[in-house]
Amino acid sequence: MLPFDDETRTVAGKSTERMHFRTKAPIKEKIQRAAALAGVDDSAFTLSAALREADRVIDAHEHTHLEAADQEAFLAALAGPSVVEEPLRIAAKRYKARVKSLQ
């Protein structure tokens, strides 16, 4: 049996919020089976899996991971001379006018 790591326990606060969703019978059965094999109830199992996946998706959107060769090319481009063409300047001005800063 694989050990179960309830990742929801690391989140502070009381469990006061509700989430409602429906699923198909085979999905529910599989989740309940896996939860039983892990020795936890299906709510803890499902919430922990959902939290783990949410963290993975957020991380993928907030961070860029580069292979070594790509990292070298990126750093070389940053270290090189700055060449800003006029269309890029126009686009930057348009962006700044439309998007609020998150400062």
Considering the domain architecture, whether residues 73 and 47 belong to the same structural domain is answered as no
Q: Report the number of distinct structural domains present in the chain.
A: 2
Statement to judge: residues 52 and 81 lie in one domain: no
Instruction: Establish if 30 belongs to a structural domain.
Output: yes
Confidence of residue 101 (pLDDT cuts 50, 70, 90): low
* Residue 54 in domain: yes
Residues 24 and 58 in one domain: yes
Q: Is 29 contained in some domain? A: yes
Could you tell me the pTM of the whole model? 0.62
Assign 102 a pLDDT band (cuts: 50, 70, 90). Answer: low
The answer to whether residue 103 is domain-embedded is: no
Nearest to 45 by CA among 4, 76, 9: 4
Average pLDDT of the chain is: 89
Residues 33 and 55 in one domain: yes
Q: Mention every residue, 6+ apart, whose C-beta is less than 8 A from residue 47.
A: 8
Longest dimension (CA), the chain: 62
Structure confidence at residue 10 (pLDDT): 86
Q: Can you give the residue range of the structural domain that contains 74?
A: 68-98
Chain segment 61-93, per-residue pLDDT in tens: 899 889 999 999 999 988 988 877 888 889 988
